[in-house]
Amino acid sequence: MPRTKKPRNCACAFRGKAYKPTGIPMGELERVELYLDELEALVLCDRDGLTQEEAGQKMGISRGTVQRILSSARAKVADALSGCKAIVMDRDICEK
């Protein structure tokens, strides 16, 4: 049985539930689920320019975990953008 995931500190203030291509109803789109810890890692590393080590310290996780989360998040975003899919946010992992 896998371990339960360690809670992450997520500070990004996401409003809404999804991003989608314009002009296509949500019901017609394939969905890509992006966890808030994945969004947080993208924001810290790609938008804010922090190193993975610095992002890990802010999120309360190891650098290796940040690297794994970033890899997953980047693949999901690239898939959604290139495949005309909706990005749906899931608050499952981050602490509130």
Domain for residue 96, yes or no?
Answer: no
CB 40 within 8 A of CB 93: no
Per-residue pLDDT, averaged over 19-41, amounts to 94
Per-residue pLDDT, averaged over 6-29, amounts to 81
Domain for residue 17, yes or no?
Answer: no
CB 12 within 8 A of CB 48: no
Confidence (pLDDT) at 95: 47
Domain for residue 1, yes or no?
Answer: no
Residue 33 has pLDDT above 90, yes or no: yes
The distance between the two most distant Cα atoms of the chain, rounded to a whole number of Å, is: 43
Instruction: Please give the residue range of the domain that contains residue 33.
Output: 23-90
Domain for residue 8, yes or no?
Answer: no
**Tally of CB atoms within 10 A around 69:** 25
Query: Across the chain, what does the average pLDDT equal?
Result: 88
Query: In the structure encoding, which two tokens stand for residue 93, read together?
Result: 């992992």
We report the CATH number of the domain holding residue 72 as 1.10.10
Domain for residue 79, yes or no?
Answer: yes
User: In 3-state terms, what secondary structure has residue 94?
Assistant: strand
